[in-house]
Amino acid sequence: MVDAEEQPADGRRSTRWTVDEVLAAVAQAGDDAAAIARTVSAWATLPNFRITGGTGQTYPSFTVLADTTYTTGAGLRGILSLYADSHGSGPALEVRVNEMCNTPPYNDPQARNRLTADLHALGIPRLDREDVLCNKRPEIPLAELSHGRVERLLALIARWISEAGAHPERRVDMPGRRRVDLDVARLTRFLEDDQACHDLRFYFGVGLGPGELPSFTGGRFELLDGNGDRADTCNRFTASDILSIEMLSVHLPPLVAVDLLEGALGEKAAALLEQIPITVPLWDDGAVGLIRGGGPADALWRLLESQEGVGWVTAGKLLARKRPSLIPVYDDVVRCAFGRPKEIWKALHNALRQDDSSFMTVLQNLMKRAGIPAEVTPLRTLDVTLWMRHRPHHTGHGCGGLT
Q: What is the pTM of this model?
A: 0.59
Residue 6 pLDDT: 32
Where are the domains positioned within the chain?
A: 4-172, 177-393
Closest CA relative to residue 22, chosen from 39, 37, 36? 37
The 10s digit of each residue's pLDDT in 340-366 is 888 999 999 999 998 788 999 999 999
Tell me the residue ranges of DSSP E strands in 233-343: none
Please tell me the distance from the alpha carbon of residue 348 to that of residue 44, in angstroms, as a whole number: 38
Long-range contacts formed by 362-367: CB under 8 A, 24+ apart: 362/188, 362/191, 362/192, 363/191, 366/191, 366/192, 366/196, 366/197, 366/200, 367/200
Please tell me the distance from the alpha carbon of residue 104 to that of residue 176, in angstroms, as a whole number: 20
Please tell me the distance from the alpha carbon of residue 197 to that of residue 202, in angstroms, as a whole number: 9
**Tens-digit pLDDT string for the chain (403 aa):** 222 323 333 455 778 899 999 999 999 999 999 999 999 999 987 566 788 888 777 789 999 988 765 433 335 678 899 999 877 789 999 999 988 887 778 878 888 889 999 999 999 999 999 888 888 889 999 999 999 999 999 999 988 887 876 655 443 333 334 556 899 998 999 999 999 999 999 999 999 888 888 889 999 999 998 889 999 999 999 999 999 999 999 999 999 999 999 999 999 999 999 999 999 999 999 999 999 988 999 999 999 999 988 989 999 999 999 999 999 999 999 999 998 888 999 999 999 998 788 999 999 999 999 999 999 999 999 999 999 999 888 877 667 788 7
Q: End-to-end CA distance of the chain, in Å?
A: 54
Residue 362 pLDDT: 95
The full DSSP string for 306-332 is TSTT--HHHHHHHHHHH-TTTS----H
245: which DSSP letter? H
> Buried (b) or exposed (e) across 67-82, using 16+ Cβ within 10 A?
bbbbbbeeebbbbbbb
Residue type, 98: N
Residue 401 pLDDT: 82
